[in-house]
Chains A and B, each alone.
Chain A
Amino acid sequence: MEKNIYIPDLAKIIRIDSVTANEKIFDIAFIDKEVQKSFNFKPGQFVELTVFGVGEAPFCVASNPRNNDKFQLCVRAVGSVSKALHNLKEGAKVGIRGPFGKGVFPYKEAEQHNVLVVAGGMGLVPLMSFLTYMMDLREQYKNVMIIYGAVNPANILYKNEISYWNSRDDISVCVTVDNPDDKWTGEIGVCTKLIPRVDFKPEDTYTIVCGPPVMYKYVVQELEKKNFKEDKIFLSLERRMECGVGKCNHCHIGEKLVCVDGPVFSLWELRNIKEAI
Chain B
Amino acid sequence: MLYKVLKKGSYDLFLAKLIADFEFIGPVKKDKATHDFKKISDIRKLDVNYKRTTIAPAKKILYPSTETLLQYEINEDIEMSVDYEAGEKILFGIDACDVNGLNFLDRFFSDEMIDEPYFSKRRKLTVIGLDRMPSDTNFSLSLGKEYAKDGFDLFLTDLNNRYFVRVGSEKGNDILTKYADVSDAGEDDFKDYNKFMDTYRKSFKLKADINNLYDNYELIYNNKDFWNRVAKDCYSCGSCCLVCPTCFCFNVRDDMELNLKKGAKTREWDSCMIPEYGLVAGGHNFRPDKENRLKQRYRCKLKTFIDRFGTYSCVGCGRCIEACLAKINIAEDINAVKKEVSV
Minimum CB distance partner of A272 in chain B: B218
Contact at B115–A5, with CB atoms within 8 Å? Answer: yes
Closest to A239 in B: B286
In angstroms, Cα B74 to Cα A275, docked, is 42
Cβ-based interface call for B210 (8 A): no
Answer yes or no: B324 CB below 8 A from chain A CBs.
Answer: no
Interchain CB contact under 8 A, A52 and B72: yes
How far apart sit A5 and B251, CA to CA, in the bound complex (Å)?
Answer: 15
CB interface residues, B 234-262, toward A, < 8 Å: 248-256, 260
In the complex, the chain A residue whose C-beta lies closest to that of B76 is A93
Out of B255, B272, B282, B299, name the residue touching A254 (CB < 8 Å). Answer: B299
Tell whether, in the assembled complex, residue B113 and residue A245 are in contact, meaning their CB atoms are under 8 Å apart: yes
Q: Is the CB of B281 within 8 A of A82?
A: yes
- Do B116 and A248 have beta carbons less than 8 Å apart? no
Please measure, in the bound complex, the distance between the C-alpha atom of A53 and the C-alpha atom of B74, giving whole angstroms: 9
Question: Among B72, B254, B256, which residue has the most Cβ atoms of chain A within 10 A?
Answer: B254
Chain B: interface residue total (CB-CB under 8 A): 52
| Interface residues of chain A: helix, strand, loop or mixed (majority) | loop
Known: A245-B113, A254-B304. A54 touches B254 (CB 8 A): yes
- Once bound together, how far apart are the Cα atoms of A212 and B333, in whole Å? 35
Q: How many Å lie between the Cα of A255 and that of B278 in the bound state?
A: 16
A252 in contact with B72 (CB, 8 Å): no
> Is B221 on the interface with A (CB-CB < 8 A)?
yes
Residues in A with CB closer than 8 Å to B263 are 52-53
A sample of 21 cross-chain residue pairs with beta-carbon separation below 8 angstroms, ordered by A number, consists of A5-B116, A6-B69, A7-B70, A10-B78, A51-B254, A52-B72, A52-B74, A52-B254, A53-B260, A76-B282, A79-B281, A79-B282, A213-B284, A239-B278, A240-B280, A249-B249, A249-B272, A250-B249, A252-B300, A252-B304, A260-B112
Binding site for B on A (CB under 8 A): 2, 4-8, 10, 50-57, 76, 78-82, 93, 95, 212-213, 238-240, 242-243, 245-250, 252, 254-255, 260, 274-275
Contacts A52-B72, A239-B286 known; 9 new A-B pairs at CB < 8 A: A2-B116, A51-B254, A95-B80, A212-B284, A242-B267, A243-B250, A250-B249, A252-B296, A255-B308
